Amino acid sequence: MATLRDVAVLAGVSVKTVSNVVNGYAFVKPENRRRVEDALTATGYRPNIGARNLRRGRTGFIALVVPELSIPYFGELAGGVIDAAAEHDWNVLIEQTQGDRGRERETIAALGPHMVDGAIVSPQAVETADVAMPDVPVVLLGEHPLALPLDHVGIDNVTAAYTATRHLVELGRARVAVIGQHPTRGTATQRLAGYRQALREAGLPEIVASALRYHHRDGAAAMTELLALAEPPDAVFCFNDMLALGAIRAAVDLGRRVPDDLAVVGFDNTEHSTYSVPSLTTIAPDKAALARAAVDLVRRRAAGDTDFPPQDVRIPFALAVRESTTP
């Protein structure tokens, strides 16, 4: 394996100059930089990242803890976190918990400075009593309540759900259902509150369907039950895009036309929502901004910038209106 000294000999410069080039320092003469880069290529030199990070007092990794990577929202979010972390020379270790309380508790407890420089966590089931204050900076995503002095990044789920439901009401729909009520998810509780606020203002009845998981099959099962009611809905707001696409599949299989007979709104604006048939009207959070904000908070805390209170950062959203609500 080539060493810095091997590169220096080939380039005809000092070991210090080679080190400066490898570590990205700007103050190297252009000609010397070119010779070093040529020598790096010729020798196949690879820096020892572990040793470099040890000298810097960092691991070079942050953790991302999410419920399920098979849910497109979390897959897209992971991509955004990886991109944002790379700007700070971090790699990302990803763990999925399936929203299980025990796995969330164990994963958070394992976070430490020997493994990562910080973590971004999207909890769904863990309780405050389960969690001790981590030894590394942790940023929370989503709206699962934890009474801990930690930074949080999310969107205004109540207002977003209100916006989605209000859109259906303004289309003249009189029986607006919701799919996604969950007994323990804080995000579901907030979205249900926004749905109820919009219907209360419009004087319309609530039609609530639960979903213990947020996959296509769960949306399809809930939609089948709703359409079997004596007075079925003429619109439905789903708490994520997977539920919405499952609901559309079930409605079409039962002879309903979307949006003529049934208007559908989802949540997350995943890539699938743009290319489904019909394309899906959905709440579109700025996932790239969310990822950048979370990584930046980890960066600030990890760098020792702790002289500010826990932050609650709200990321903007929009309603992306598509074919599932507009003929």
Token pair 């803890």 is at which residue? 65
Answer yes or no: pTM beyond 0.85.
no
Residue 103, exposed/middle/buried by CB under 10 A (0-12, 13-18, 19+)? middle
- Cα(117)–Cα(231) distance, rounded to whole angstroms? 54
pLDDT attached to residue 144: 77
- Which residues, in sequence order, are bridge partners of residue 320? 282
pLDDT in tens, the chain (327 residues): 788 888 889 899 988 888 888 777 767 888 888 898 898 888 888 766 555 554 455 689 999 999 999 999 999 999 999 999 999 989 999 999 998 999 999 999 999 888 899 999 999 888 888 888 888 999 999 887 788 899 999 999 999 999 999 999 999 999 999 999 988 778 899 999 999 999 999 999 999 999 989 999 999 999 999 999 999 999 999 999 999 999 999 999 999 999 999 999 999 999 999 999 999 999 999 999 999 999 999 999 998 877 889 999 999 999 999 999 997
∠ CA 194-195-201 to the nearest 5 degrees? Answer: 90
Please report which residue ranges of 87-119 form alpha helices under DSSP H. 101-110
Q: What is the largest CA-CA distance in the chain?
A: 85
* Domains parsed from the chain with CATH numbers: 4-47 (1.10.260.40), 57-153+287-307 (3.40.50.2300), 157-286 (3.40.50.2300)
- Which residues, in sequence order, are bridge partners of residue 66? 96
User: Other CB atoms closer than 10 Å to residue 215's CB: what's the count?
Assistant: 18
- Which residues, in sequence order, are bridge partners of residue 247? none
In a 13 Å sphere around the CA of 133, the CA atoms on its Cβ side amount to 7
Q: What element of type H or E holds 55? A: helix 49-56
pLDDT attached to residue 261: 98
pLDDT attached to residue 5: 86
Pairing mode of beta strands 317-320, 281-285:
antiparallel
pLDDT attached to residue 56: 53
Cα-Cα end-to-end distance for the chain: 64
| Residue 232 preceded by cis peptide, ω within 30 | no
- In DSSP notation, 179-224 reads EEE-SS-HHHHHHHHHHHHHHHHHT---EEEE-SS-SHHHHHHHHH
- Which residues, in sequence order, are bridge partners of residue 95? 65
pLDDT attached to residue 52: 52
